[in-house]
Structure formats: structure tokens, C-alpha cells
Structure 1
């Protein structure tokens, strides 16, 4: 192959990537929620971190989450190219070469864990490493293409940040961060299955066994409602057990009622005989948006309640 040909082949990778493409590789929207829950875990932990170390901890959590997202995009580049929702990602469009994306993710993952260990403690670093490994190896490589329960089990990866933030301050893990973990863990299925309902054709075309693809839309709607009904009382446990005050308790109750109402709308959505929505899954789209606001506001209430004493 001539030098000219080599330049032609390499051009999309060598010249196409901008800083926005590398940022997109980190899944910044996902990272935002991860950072919020991690910060809250750190803020409500008993003890104090030097402000510089606190900022370092937040950066480590953000970088680790982004690194896991980059490795996920490297592994899922084949199905990302098929799905409309993900086809514009940097690897399917040829802006970033797969090997570069993998190296980028691995370097960031290792660096985030090492810096966390040096800045805080080994317990926080171990939980951070576990969260990366769980998302990459358990969810992405093992569960996602094999079982419709992928997001249920794999959802644990996104629930680790409150534990990491708490451990960075205290060096241990107690009941409160475990409760915050449980809230995010139970929130993940109704959040993600709402998306999966209106992205069902995309997942089916890519061969990903998401619940609506395997079990049908009607069963998925029921599961969304059931998980939401379990999530709401669990979200009240920090208040009921005395780890949070009335500001959080009231916020959790109101948000939970809203989430149940949202899930009921999904469950009662007008459907044809196969369970397919006759409203273009408008309730599912609304439930997905509500779930994002739900988690952000709920965790903000944990922090506000803590600072109000």
C-alpha cells in the first residue's frame, strides 16, 4: 500500500476527531448524574475532607465514570453503529479509532483509581475500581448481550458513587451510603426500561435482549410500575431510620408519589393487542425525563437536609 493510500485510510481517524468527540466518548450526561450522587455521599459523610482533596475525589469519580463509558463504547461499537440512537457516537462515525478509544478509557480508569488511593484512602479507591470493573466486565461484556435482566444487575455499577464519596471521607461504609446505593439500584430499571420502551426497535435491530424486546412492551410496563412501587418506600428509609430529616422525608414522599403516577401512566398507556403503544410511547418518554429529575432532586434533598441539621 502506498504512502498516499495510507494517508487516505488514516485521515478519518487522524484528522476527524475534535475535543468534543473525546468528550462525547466519556458519556458526559451519564457522568453528571454519577457525580451528583457521589458528591452527596461525600457531603453527608461524618468527617471532613480538605477542599482540594474533595475536588480531587469528585474528579476521580467523574473520570472513572467517563473511562468506563469510553470502554463501553469501544466494546459496543458494532451495535452502536446499528442503533439510530447511538450511530452518531465518535467510534461508529469514524472520528475516533477503536484502539485509541480503548487506550483512552483504560488510561483514565487506571489513573482515576491511583489518584483516588493517593488523595483519600484505599477503601475509596477499591470501591472506585469495583465500579469500573462492574460496568465494563459484568454489565457491558457479560450481561448486556445475554439477558433481559442486564440493566437490573448491571445497574449496581451506577449505584456505587454514593459509597465511593462516603468512603473517601470516612474510610469505611455504613448504613447510610448503603441506603443511597439501594435507591439508585432500584431507580435504574424503571428509568432505563422507560427509555427501552420507545427505543425497542433499535435494540431489537441490534440484537440486544432488552426487556421489551424479549418479554414484550406490556410486561415491561408492569415491571416499571412494580420497581417504582418498591423504590418509593425504600427512598423513605433514610428518613424513617433517622439518617435524614423531614426535608428529605417530605421531598422523597412527594417525588415518590410523582414517580408512581408517572409509572401508572406508562402502565395504562393505550396499547394494541400486542402491547405496543398507540401514543408513540409518550408516557414512557415523560417517565424517562421525570426519572432524571427525580434522582437529581432526591439527592439534592439529602444534601440540603444534612446542611440544615
Structure 2
């Protein structure tokens, strides 16, 4: 009997650790920052790539762990989150807090080893996510605007890690990922509307699954598309895009826009879920196109 218990606990400790740090989300953030680094760098340093990946992972892991500590009582109310390590009782708040603090320190120290600006933006990101975005989620839909700032930092962070400089190029990368987050977040807020309501979270801009929200999703998708093709016009310093790649990026944007219009038309949770899945593919593909374009140009 005790054997089966120990064999069950080891995997569950690992899965709880993955869940408290939201490993899958953290890896997608690391992907963004590595793409930003490859766009900004002249000669690739594998040491910096590794530091950026580790620092980025710790940074996101810390934010998520703090978030789950703060929201533990609300998480217990929602189907989506009630089985997380803290509300389910599998992990104590103290353990989660230790993980969050260790991850914060490791993240900032590792990013500082790349350069000071990278560490500064990493610290800003943890602070905004934990101390501003998380408390605002139950107060106002404007929380999404605040949350979009730390969410947009990773792509830009990679460029800053490569160049130790913040200018028009990382600013453009930031803007692209910033605008993209609204259709992405609101699509999630739409199909999890009832569940979010149980926890008292108001994620949609109008507070409802209505045409007003759908119109805003379309508007922000259009903004995302416009920002994504700006580098082709040569205004963005070293961040350039060939015409062929700009066309591909534009078509990917239209693909996402199609699903935004579809949500406006049929207003179902299934359509919102599809838009969310397309938005995730969209941002990864855009980053891949940008990087490939740079290296084959």
C-alpha cells in the first residue's frame, strides 16, 4: 500500500510544480523572448540564449506562483482552477511562496547576468503581473490592459537582451504582442465567462458576451495586423521585414481576423475557443516568420 502511495506522490509533486509555475505558458513566453533575441542579435551567443530561456522561465514561473497564492480562495470557486495545487490542498501557501521568491531571485539574477536593462524589464513584468494585474482582475475589465503589459514584455525582452538597448525595434515588438493579447484574452474570457463569473473576474471589455465585446476583439485584431506589417516600411530601424514575409504576416493576420468576425457573427463559446486557439498559433507563426526572414534576407 505504502509503495503505491510513494509512486503516486513523486509524479504529483512534479505535476504540481509544473502547475504552480504554469510550465506550458512559461515555455511559450520563453519562445517569444528567444525569438526577440534572434531578431536583435548580430552573432548568436548560445550562453545568452540559455540565460534568457532560464531567466524568462523563472520570471513567468514566479509571476504565476504569486498569482495563485493571491487568488487561492477565488480559484477554489472555479471549475477551471479548483484543482490547482493550493486550493486543492496539495501544496501549502508557504511552499508556493518559497517557490515564487526563489524564482523571482533566480530570474532577476540570471537576466542581470545578460544586462541590467533585461533584469529591469523582467522585474517590472513580475511587479505589474503580481501587484497590479492580479488584484485588478476582480475590480475592472481594465485589468486586461494592465496584464497586456507584462504579457508583451518577453518578445521585447529578447531584443533588449541582444542589444542592451531599448528603442523603436523592441518598442514595435512590444506593440505587436501588446495588441495581440486583447483578442487572445477576450476570447478566453468569452468561453470561460460563466466560470470566471463564479470567481468574480470581469475579463470582457463590456462585462458581457455581447456584440460590443466582439467589435472590440475585431478592432484590436486589426491593430495587431497593422503593427505586424510596420517593419516592411523601413520605419523601425534594424527591425526589417521583406515584402514576401510581410505578405505572409498579413495573411496570417487575416486568418485570425476571420475568426474574430466569425465570433461577432455567431457569438458562441465554441467560436471564442477557436479564436483563442488560432490566436496562439498566430503569434508563434508571426515570430517564426520574423526570425526566418531575418536569417534568409
User: How high is the TM-score relative to the length of structure 2?
Assistant: 0.90
Q: Distance in 2 between matches of 1:86 and 1:197?
A: 16
- Rg comparison, structure with higher value: 1
1:18 Cα offset (Å): 0.9
Superposed CA deviations along residues 172-228 of structure 1, whole A, max 9, x for unmatched, are 112121111111110111101111111111111111122278244332212111111
Does the CA-based 8 Å contact 1:131-1:157 persist in structure 2? yes
Report the aligned-residue RMSD.
1.9
Superposed CA deviations along residues 147-175 of structure 1, whole A, max 9, x for unmatched, are 11211222111100122111112111121
Please list every run of at least 4 consecutive aligned residues from structure 1 whose deviation after the TM superposition is greater than 4 angstroms.
14-17
Deviates more, 1:48-57 or 1:208-217: 208-217
The corresponding residue for 2:276 is 288
Choose the corresponding residue for 1:205, options 194, 198, 207. Answer: 198
Q: Distance in 1 between matches of 2:188 and 2:103?
A: 28
Q: Distance in 2 between matches of 1:22 and 1:285?
A: 27
The corresponding residue for 1:180 is 173
1:108 Cα offset (Å): 0.6
Choose the corresponding residue for 2:50, options 43, 51, 55. Answer: 55
Q: Distance in 1 between matches of 2:296 and 2:47?
A: 24
Q: Distance in 1 between matches of 2:26 and 2:20?
A: 11
Does the CA-based 8 Å contact 1:200-1:212 persist in structure 2? no
Q: Distance in 2 between matches of 1:265 and 1:130?
A: 36
1:238 aligns with 2:235: no
The corresponding residue for 1:273 is none
Choose the corresponding residue for 2:160, options 162, 167, 190. Answer: 167
Q: Gapped runs of 5+ residues in structure 2? A: 1-8
- Alignment map for 1:125-204 (pairs within 5 Å): 125-141=119-135, 143-204=136-197
The corresponding residue for 1:251 is 248
Q: Gapped runs of 5+ residues in structure 1? A: 1-13, 271-276
- Alignment map for 1:1-309 (pairs within 5 Å): 18-48=13-43, 50-118=45-113, 120-141=114-135, 143-211=136-204, 214-241=207-234, 243-269=240-266, 277=268, 281-309=269-297
Aligned length: 285
Mark the CA change 1:213 to 1:223 in structure 2 (over 3 Å): closer, same or farther: closer
User: How high is the TM-score relative to the length of structure 1?
Assistant: 0.87
Q: Distance in 1 between matches of 2:193 and 2:206?
A: 6
1:53 Cα offset (Å): 2.6
SS for the counterpart of 2:40 is coil
1:231 Cα offset (Å): 1.4
Does the CA-based 8 Å contact 1:48-1:169 persist in structure 2? no
Q: Distance in 2 between matches of 1:131 and 1:117?
A: 14
Mark the CA change 1:244 to 1:30 in structure 2 (over 3 Å): closer, same or farther: same
Does the CA-based 8 Å contact 1:246-1:305 persist in structure 2? no
Q: Distance in 1 between matches of 2:248 and 2:69?
A: 39
1:29 Cα offset (Å): 2.1
Does the CA-based 8 Å contact 1:187-1:227 persist in structure 2? yes
